[in-house]
Amino acid sequence: MLQTLTIVYLAYMFIALYFMFLFTLTFIQNRKEMLSVPEIKKKYSVSVLIPAYNEEDSIEGTVETVLESDYENIIEVIIINDGSKDSTLDIAKALEKKYSKVKVFDKKNSGKADSLNQALKIVKGELVAVVDADSYPDKHAISSMVGFFSDSDVGAVTTRILVKQRDNFLRKMQAVEYKVIAFTRKLLGFLDAIYVTPGPLALYSKNALIKIKGFDVKNMTEDIEAAWHLINAGYKIRMSYVAKSTTVAPDTLRKWIKQRIRWNIGGYQTILKYKSYFFKKGMLGLFILPFFSISLLLGVFGLGIFFYRIFRRILFSYLSAKYSLAAQTAIIAANDINLNPSVLNFLGIILFVLGLAFIFYALRHINSQIHEKESFFSVIFYSLVYILLRPLVLVISLGKFLTGKYSWR
Amino acid sequence: MMESKKHVFWQALFLTGFFFLLGLVFGVYLEQVRGDSFSTSFYQSEVSLYDSLALSRLSEGDLLSCNEIKEASIGFADKIYEEARDLERFDEKNRLTDSLKTIHRKYDLLRTLLWMNIMEVKEKCGEINYIVYLYAYETEDINIKSEQVVWSRLLSDLKEEEGNNIILIPIAADSDLTSLDYLIKKFEVEKYPAVIINGRHILYDIESTSDIAKYFN
């Protein structure tokens, strides 16, 4: 009979292989449409919302980048000062004086979602672009996204989010990660399964946002919740793969963990909110919810198995050493080392190589557009080490989520 | 649009199922190949055992000396000891099939027969030192497993030190063999791992090789 652990390994392999085929087939069937952008049939007016909390270092650059956009019908750029304690408000006011389109909306601190909801009441544009105050959309980003709204079912459009500075190793890892995510997100778009409209740049139909009553103020990741809410309300989310918005990624492990914990807790909150739709109601219940939940579950469970194995190994080594000392015999002997690989090792290696090939292809595809390069070592380190940090943060996040020890800041 | 999307989910499932099954079939085949190579060794060992049993029958008629029987028994015991060690190294890596487990059981039966034969020879000749090492093969208990690793290493060292002076017979006690269960009952073995020396002394706690050697004739 197969051991429980063998069954678990085989189940993991099956799921990983399934998603590998799903993404590969989706790419093959839609490769000609990867870079296509619908023609702009109507020049919708666009209001840009920039929520800012203590963003004195980046707010000016973000606003100026938005103003450099080649989309002609940006009618206003609203900086929402969310009770910043630094000089964000002063810089925002100076920008308001300097540029006619810039407006400042000052309010007490209440979080990003509430800031956006309050600003939503005063925006004049038919489309609402949300841009994080530390992000920098391409000149062509908004113009490449507007055309998607020719389809009245489209509620939001996202674009490639990439890392702005790759000046340290952690940021290089995140640069690889963001690129792979951008590639797979575009593929998910072909399946009507984009599950997040990320903060560095997302363009929404104002009517769609009003219909879903804006952003969920209780959710730690209002961009995931909004995406699910829109899909649940019958809207589609599309992605423009030709443009990009760059964002400042965490430069230290501490900041990175903090950010990821927030993302994961937001993910848990969203799953809980929409749990009643499991296996119901279109792509949300049939794919996004299971896909999102399974990836969280596999991460947490996988880490559990990993630690269980490590713990047993350590205990085994400790006891063996103890008995060996008592018997006055060698603690380790050459015969103890068993280098015979199991069939599961072979299958695991094949799967890893396929995964690596997918990552390399995704990077090649995206790098050919933006003329960047990743070192071979970065990609290997990302695939072997960086990816393994995810389940660790997932477990910490789960602990915080279950004990209620979390806040937005 | 929706229809074509559904297609890709099914297509991916079909391809996954196909390649997953292909991988499993390949894995099972590889494990069977390993099993087959051990089957060949087993048949050879089986012949050696019958040869050894035949020799002890001859000794009943005083056609053979105790020394000749002892040498034959030691030679055979050493042969299956090495084969069993190799088998176990592969056995723990077999994840998909039980093919090696069956061969392992057959080896345990061979070693039980050897144990019985050695007891007869000892009764007749009286000058053989033998150690039966009874261990739990199926256990998941980490304490027992680590104890067994040390016992195994210790007895290997002892065998290396003593050479042809001792016969080492490791047997998986939980092989579900009636004859073995009877012998274990006869020796009143309480737990595993257990080491029976010359059919007289039963050790449960790990001791040094020099302490174990004190039990020999």
Considering only CB atoms, B147 lies closest to which of A323, A328, A343, namely: A323
Considering only CB atoms, A333 lies closest to which of B89, B92, B153, namely: B153
Q: Which residues of A touch B4 (CB under 8 A)?
A: 29
Q: Would the pLDDT of A349 be above 70?
A: yes
Q: Would the pLDDT of A336 be above 90?
A: no
Considering only CB atoms, B146 lies closest to which of A1, A287, A320, namely: A320
Q: Would the pLDDT of A158 be above 50?
A: yes
Pair type for strands A135-137 and A236-247? antiparallel
Q: Name residue A4's amino acid.
A: T
Question: What is the reported pLDDT for B2?
Answer: 43
> Tell me: the pLDDT tens digits for B129-174?
899 999 998 888 999 999 998 998 888 888 888 887 888 899 999 9
Tokens of A62: 């973000």
Q: Using DSSP, state whether B158 is helix, strand or coil.
A: helix
Rounded CA Rg of chain A: 24
Question: What is the reported pLDDT for B63?
Answer: 66
Q: Would the pLDDT of A330 be above 90?
A: no
The verdict on a CB contact (< 8 Å) between A315 and B142 is yes
Please state the three-class secondary structure of chain A as a single string: CCCHHHHHHHHHHHHHHHHHHHHHHHHHHHHHHCCCCCCCCCCCCEEEEEEECCCCCCHHHHHHHHHCCCCCCEEEEEEEEECCCCCHHHHHHHHHHHCCCEEEEEECCCCHHHHHHHHHCCCCCCEEEECCCCEEECCCHHHHHHHHHHCCCEEEEEEEEEECCCCCHHHHHHHHHHHHHHHHHHHHHHCCCCCCCCCCCEEEEHHHHHHCCCCCCCCCCHHHHHHHHHHHCCCEEEEEEEEEEEECCCCCHHHHHHHHHHHHHHHHHHHHHCHHHCCCCHHHHHHHHHHHHHHHHHHHHHHHHHHHHHHHHHHHHHHHHHHHHHHCCCCCCHHHCCCCCCHHHHHHHHHHHHHHHHHHHHHHHHHHHHCCCCCHHHHHHHHHHHHHHHHHHHHHHHHHHHHCCCCCC
Question: What is the reported pLDDT for A20?
Answer: 94
Mean per-residue pLDDT of chain A: 91
Q: Chain A interface residues facing chain B, Cβ-Cβ under 8 Å?
A: 1-3, 6, 9-10, 13-14, 17-19, 21-22, 25-26, 29, 190-192, 287, 312, 315-316, 319-320, 322-324, 326-330, 333, 335-336, 338, 340-344, 346-347, 350
Find out whether A8 and A165 touch, Cβ atoms under 8 Å.
Answer: no
CA distance A268 to A262: 10
Write the burial class of residue A54 (CB in 10 Å: 0-12 exposed, 13-18 middle, 19+ buried). middle
Find out whether A120 and A214 touch, Cβ atoms under 8 Å.
Answer: yes
Q: Picking from A7-16, A22-31, A120-129, A181-190, which range would have the lowest pLDDT averaged per residue?
A: A7-16
CA distance A179 to B34: 44
The stretch B83-111 carries a mean pLDDT of 75
The verdict on a CB contact (< 8 Å) between A192 and B5 is yes
Q: Which residues of B touch A18 (CB under 8 A)?
A: 12-13, 16
Q: Which residues of B touch A328 (CB under 8 A)?
A: 208-209
Percent of chain B whose pLDDT exceeds 90: 23
Query: Structural domain of residue B189, as residue ranges?
Result: 2-213
Mean per-residue pLDDT of chain B: 82
B44 vs A304, more confident: A304
Q: Would the pLDDT of B29 be above 70?
A: yes
Q: Picking from A81-95, A249-263, A366-380, B7-21, which range would have the lowest pLDDT averaged per residue?
A: A366-380
> Tell me: the pLDDT tens digits for B50-77?
776 776 666 666 667 777 777 777 877 8
The verdict on a CB contact (< 8 Å) between A17 and B16 is yes
CA distance A79 to A106: 8
**Chain A interface test: which of B148, B153, B157, B205 (most A C-beta within 10 Å):** B153
> Tell me: the pLDDT tens digits for A54-78?
999 999 999 999 999 999 999 999 9
The verdict on a CB contact (< 8 Å) between A328 and B208 is yes
Query: Considering the entire predicted model, what is its pTM?
Result: 0.82
Question: What is the reported pLDDT for A70?
Answer: 95
CA distance A313 to B31: 25
Q: Which residue of B lies nearest to A324 if distances are taken between CA atoms?
A: B150
Question: What is the reported pLDDT for B62?
Answer: 65
CA distance A132 to B42: 71
Considering only CB atoms, B146 lies closest to which of A29, A323, A328, namely: A323
Instruction: Say how many domains are in chain B.
Output: 1
Q: Would the pLDDT of B46 be above 70?
A: yes
> Tell me: the pLDDT tens digits for A25-60?
999 999 999 999 999 999 999 999 999 999 999 999
Q: B20 and chain A: CB distance < 8 Å anywhere?
A: yes
Considering only CB atoms, A18 lies closest to which of B4, B13, B142, namely: B13
Q: Picking from A28-32, B5-9, B31-35, which range would have the lowest pLDDT averaged per residue?
A: B31-35
CA distance A379 to A390: 16
CATH number of the domain where residue B154 is located: 3.40.30.10
The stretch A235-253 carries a mean pLDDT of 94
**Chain A interface test: which of B9, B102, B211 (most A C-beta within 10 Å):** B9
Question: What is the reported pLDDT for B1?
Answer: 43
CA distance A29 to A228: 25
ipTM for the predicted complex: 0.84
The verdict on a CB contact (< 8 Å) between A324 and B150 is yes
